[in-house]
Amino acid sequence: MKVFKLDDVYSKLEISCGKRADEVIITDDKVFIVERTGRAKLEDVRKLIETINCIIGDDRLQSELLGRSSIKGVTMIVIIHSPRRIDSEVVDKLRCDVSNLNRSLRGRGVSVRISRRASCYEDLRVIVSHCGS
């Protein structure tokens, strides 16, 4: 398992894809995109989706994160890491955006899923270990 702070990776590669999530956790064929927040907002959904789009569209970022310049066969799992309950408006927006993204990715060998909310580091560890195997 590898953990990348996206601010560091984007700076190193001089990438400017707009908003980005906080970190990416890589296991064999899974990419966990994590946004840490005190209270989940619509802006957090935007960061998660823009991060996915940037990973898909930038070969250098794929190479840095995955060690290869192909995302075929990869499952991306978005996680909002927040100690508070996530409002239904945010959940609905995330579901809608992920559904639209999956439609646009058909035939490219990539899928995007939503994980349940991680409320603490232990939750996050359990999600990654359970989904990442």
pLDDT tens digit sequence for 55-81? 999 999 999 999 988 888 899 999 999
> Where does the pLDDT of residue 100 fall: very low under 50, low under 70, confident under 90, or very high at 90 and above?
very high
Mean pLDDT of 109-121: 81
| pLDDT at 130 exceeding the cut of 90 | no
pLDDT, residue 61, reads 94
For the chain, the straight-line distance linking the first and the last C-alpha, in angstroms and rounded, comes to 10
pLDDT, residue 133, reads 53
- Give CA separation, 75 vs 52, 89, 130, in Å: 11, 25, 14
pLDDT, residue 14, reads 93
Q: From CA 10, how far away is CA 105, in angstroms rounded? A: 23
pLDDT, residue 122, reads 73
pLDDT, residue 95, reads 93
Give the total number of structural domains in the chain: 1
pLDDT, residue 53, reads 93
- Closest C-alpha among 66, 69, 73 to residue 107: 73
pLDDT in tens, 35-57: 999 999 999 999 999 999 999 99
- Give CA separation, 24 vs 30, 65, 87, 88, 103, in Å: 10, 8, 23, 24, 23
Give the residue numbers spanning the domain of 100.
Answer: 2-131
- Phi then psi for residue 122, to 5 deg, are -65, -45
Q: Which has more pLDDT, 132 or 93?
A: 93
Q: Which has more pLDDT, 83 or 21?
A: 21
Q: From CA 99, how far away is CA 114, in angstroms rounded? A: 10
> Where does the pLDDT of residue 4 fall: very low under 50, low under 70, confident under 90, or very high at 90 and above?
very high
